[in-house]
A and B are shown apart, each in its own frame.
Chain A
């Protein structure tokens, strides 16, 4: 599934709920599906700052050059939000991740979490995921240049 397709699927899933409580209950459920970060990476180095709750995020490249994210949070709603992002962005190439506009967050009614006054750090999470993608992209470019030489 492409990022766009995954986003669309999530928007459809969320459209079933018209009550905010059901929506959040679902978000909490989603948190349980999050590919959990290896305990050894649950350190300050992998902690995303700017969150009222703690969020750890780790990324690595798989054999096909796709970024695989794992994460965790001590707050269940935050965990649900990270889970959504991981669901959409994980196992995609750095370029795909950097090109994603993540409009679905708006469409499922989580836009309020994008405001800088919200302390859950959704913005920081996205930035950190893009940061990883950019770093991997840079690394592979360097490799390419070396090969061309």
Chain B
């Protein structure tokens, strides 16, 4: 095995917890992942040794904090293959990153224009665009998924035209686990001179992310779904685009000079980082990405794929169980339903057995409804999960179903 799972599990203190007297089996990683000591310690060390406001003071502490914050940016930029650290904007998370762009993109959107999204989007990559359309009178074009939960690139070809202002889509679906052909779709959009935003919330901890290779204009992700703390995330944007977009919040570091009659704004990346930033979050995110990189994202992917295949084969043995999302390119997420049994009942009873999964529409209500469902049960994996945990999950599921059927 390429990963030392035993050691990895030791790095995550929370995995020692028990729930209702049973060892915690945490399979809700698409909602948020747990944090390793390397991340927790980095944040503690910051407050013990380096805390100060960044970019402000001439004193040594401020210099230390600024250096740490900027080196986190540099490290992350390098990891995702941004061409310059200034293309990495720290935000509260993927949702804020997308809202940021959707708010200021109004400059480029007029009545009758079109924004293209897909039917598998999380509400965070749907509602901001829908509301942009409401404000501007633009149309929201939704590319559907097929029964397997895959996108058809031909549908993009048909949807793209001279009215299209932006394509926004998920790298990986949080409900179906589908890995979308984002590079191909970006290429199609570029043929029509349309910029592309990719919501990488479910991708960053599971597959390699290379924004230069994808060539997208914007890429967003949250730290907390990749072993980092909550309240930190990234908006990657190509310099050319970030330069021509107006600022979105005002005050603090984003200012260059202020007079009562006018203000000039700071350059990238500070232009989009109003107020005191979440420094400890940025350092935690750096530590988390370093943790991923130390183990190797390709190794993690391979291991999670093995778990996914095992879990899929086990679930398929259960009568009347249907997996929702059977794309050929898939990772780390399995949604399913059981005929005649409500997802909520299954989730409630699994919780009693120490198993954390999620039920419901997973913040992707239109997608779940497009499958004719009101909710699914979702198991989502991370690098610290084990085959043994999937066995425990299966045992519990079988027991629960015997109670409910």
Q: Shortest distance in angstroms between A81's beta carbon and chain B's nearest beta carbon?
A: 10
**Contact among B20, B342, B352, B403 for A75, CB-based, below 8 A:** B342
CB neighbours of A76 from chain B (8 A): 342, 345, 404
Q: State which residues 193-225 of B face A: CB under 8 Å.
A: none
Q: Could you mark each residue 77-120 of chain B with 1 if its beta carbon is under 8 Å from any beta carbon of chain A, else 0?
A: 00000000000000000000000000000000000000000000
A149 contacts partner chain B, Cβ-Cβ < 8 Å: no
Q: State which residues 371-400 of B face A: CB under 8 Å.
A: 374-375
User: Which stretch (A20-28, A91-99, A125-133) binds chain B?
Assistant: A20-28
| A23 (CB) vs chain B CBs: closest residue | B352
* A53 B20 Cβ-Cβ under 8 A: no
A64 contacts partner chain B, Cβ-Cβ < 8 Å: no
Instruction: Kindly state the interface size class of chain A when it binds its partner.
Output: 10 to 19
CB neighbours of A78 from chain B (8 A): 342, 344-345
Q: State which residues 32-89 of B face A: CB under 8 Å.
A: none
A87 contacts partner chain B, Cβ-Cβ < 8 Å: no
CB neighbours of B20 from chain A (8 A): 20
Main secondary structure of the interface of B (DSSP, over half): helix
* A52 B349 Cβ-Cβ under 8 A: no
B359 contacts partner chain A, Cβ-Cβ < 8 Å: yes
* A77 B348 Cβ-Cβ under 8 A: yes
Q: Shortest distance in angstroms between B303's beta carbon and chain A's nearest beta carbon?
A: 31
| A51 (CB) vs chain B CBs: closest residue | B344
* A75 B344 Cβ-Cβ under 8 A: yes
Given contacts A28-B403, A28-B404, contact A52 B344 (CB under 8 A): yes
Given contacts A21-B352, A24-B349, contact A53 B403 (CB under 8 A): no
| B359 (CB) vs chain A CBs: closest residue | A52
CB neighbours of B374 from chain A (8 A): 54, 74
CB neighbours of B375 from chain A (8 A): 52
Q: Could you mark each residue 321-337 of chain B with 1 if its beta carbon is under 8 Å from any beta carbon of chain A, else 0?
A: 00000000000000000
Given contacts A24-B352, A52-B375, contact A75 B345 (CB under 8 A): yes
Q: Shortest distance in angstroms between B142's beta carbon and chain A's nearest beta carbon?
A: 24
**Contact among B342, B344, B359, B403 for A24, CB-based, below 8 A:** B403
Q: State which residues 38-90 of A face B: CB under 8 Å.
A: 52-54, 74-78
* B352 A77 Cβ-Cβ under 8 A: no
CB neighbours of B345 from chain A (8 A): 53, 75-78
CB neighbours of B404 from chain A (8 A): 28, 76
Q: Shortest distance in angstroms between B353's beta carbon and chain A's nearest beta carbon?
A: 9
Roughly how many angstroms separate A74 CA and B337 CA in the complex, as a whole number?
14
A142 contacts partner chain B, Cβ-Cβ < 8 Å: no
Q: Which residues of B are in contact with A by a Cβ distance under 8 Å? A: 20, 342-345, 348-349, 352, 359-360, 374-375, 403-404
Closest 8 A/B residue pairs (Cβ): A75-B342, A53-B344, A75-B344, A52-B344, A77-B345, A75-B345, A52-B360, A20-B352
**A-B contacts besides A25-B403, A54-B374, 19 pairs, CB < 8 Å:** A20-B20, A24-B348, A24-B349, A24-B352, A28-B403, A28-B404, A52-B344, A53-B342, A53-B345, A74-B342, A74-B374, A75-B344, A75-B345, A76-B345, A76-B404, A77-B348, A77-B349, A78-B342, A120-B344
Question: Could you give 13 example pairs across A and B, Cβ below 8 Å?
Answer: A20-B20, A24-B348, A25-B403, A28-B403, A28-B404, A52-B344, A54-B374, A74-B342, A75-B344, A75-B345, A77-B345, A119-B359, A120-B348
